[in-house]
Amino acid sequence: MTFQALLLDLDDTLVDHRGAADRGLRAWLTGLGLAETPADLEAHAERWCALEARHYERAQRREISYTEQRRVRIRAFLPSWNLADDALADDVFAGFLSCYQAAQRAFDDAAAAIERARAAGLRVGILTNGELTIQTDKLRRTGLHRDDVPVFASSELPAAKPDPRAYLTACAALGVAPHATLMVGDSLRNDVVGAQRAGLTALLLDRAGRMARRAGEFTTVRGLGALPV
């Protein structure tokens, strides 16, 4: 099928979020003196990831604000620090955030994939769950921001992925029908199943080959260089 538009996920599709979070967390914990042994570091990293997954999802469901999910996470992560004051909680979280931002990197194939799609005449957009200003800053920081590639962030959409309204709103903004749009991302739930239910074609980006055991259930690519555009 010939597509007219390409929608790309951001975190762990174009930008290495997990890697940056891991590197940033380790640097932050080391600076705080909370990683005395490798076992300590691994335990802290595992707990941080669990808290992020739980409370970021709550923010996407709009149960709490994006700012509040940060405060909930940092208070749960450092329960003995008495971070009841919002300003103090924000300040402590900012320590991690600075390390995380310093560790952010675009994947090597990201810029080329966007350029190739635009050169082929496709309308390209980035569809991401998150705050628009934060996600746009991430693109600028990693050198991926382009004026001809709009960013559709859930903070500005009727709902977050995998709600069909997220994909349909992005397609409407690009001026392309859902059936003529290809969605690509690393999340089976948010970038494949949700997109397909909204009428888009979808590819799962599986850089590490973790989904190989489910081969045949859906279409996967190991890198953005393999996109059919």
Closest CA to 111 of 180, 205, 13: 13
CA distances from 117 to 4, 122, 141 (A): 10, 6, 22
pTM for this prediction = 0.92
Report the pLDDT value the prediction gives residue 40, as an integer from 0 to 100.
85
- Calpha distance 116→113 (Å, rounded): 5
In order of start, what are the domains of the chain with their CATH numbers? 5-16+105-226 (3.40.50.1000), 17-103 (1.10.150)
pLDDT, one tens digit per residue, over 28-70 is: 999 988 877 888 888 999 999 999 999 999 999 999 999 999 9
- Calpha distance 151→125 (Å, rounded): 6
Which region among 30-34, 79-83, 155-159, 216-220 has the lowest average model confidence (pLDDT)? 216-220
Report the pLDDT value the prediction gives residue 108, as an integer from 0 to 100.
97
- Calpha distance 187→76 (Å, rounded): 26
Burial class (CB in 10 A: 0-12, 13-18, 19+), 129: buried
CA distances from 111 to 19, 20, 117, 145, 174 (A): 18, 18, 10, 9, 20
- Calpha distance 129→99 (Å, rounded): 21
Beta strand pairing status for 5-8 and 123-128?
A: parallel
Q: For the packed helices 66-77 and 86-103, what is the interaxial angle rounded to 10 degrees?
A: 90
Question: Percentage of the chain surpassing pLDDT 70?
Answer: 97
The tokens describing 88, both together, are 């103090």
Q: Check whether 81 has a pLDDT greater than 80.
A: yes
